[in-house]
Structure 1
Amino acid sequence: MSVPVFDSQIPATAARKVEFVSATSHSGGSELHPQGFGVDLAAYRQYVRALDEAGFDYTLNGYSANSADSFVVASASIESPA
């Protein structure tokens, strides 16, 4: 099996910066281990804080007809400074 060869030249049209995007779960679970339909605000805040500390630029809040409104959850997750 041969190793693929890649061109080391970066095209002029390539992005100059990389942005990292994540997705969140309101309930603290995952697709493989769902935790129900409720909102676990403490778990959500902890997850978002970890993403911020890790340097993610954006976080996607999923939504559907049978889940909490993502704008409300995102607004509720903002912690005011003490």
Structure 2
Amino acid sequence: MPEASDHTYATRFRIPKIIWEAYGRVVPNRNADLLDHVRTVIAEHGTDQDRADLEAGERELTERRSRKGGRPRRSPTKE
């Protein structure tokens, strides 16, 4: 379960593996393609609140991607 401080949400959905693999061959960056699809659906069909949330999420993504050094390193794990 993601923590409350997590802003980018990892979700799962069910899809036949053979379709997922074919999609990966057709669209090398599935994550970006799916995110673009979500953006389009919200922009075309969302309410004003949905579009405002989309804008806020886009700002958050921009801020996260612009951080120098990227994500902080995790604590070393025991081997």
TM-score range, shorter chain: under 0.3
Larger Rg: 1
Normalised TM-score (structure 1)? 0.26
Normalised TM-score (structure 2)? 0.27
More strand by share: 1
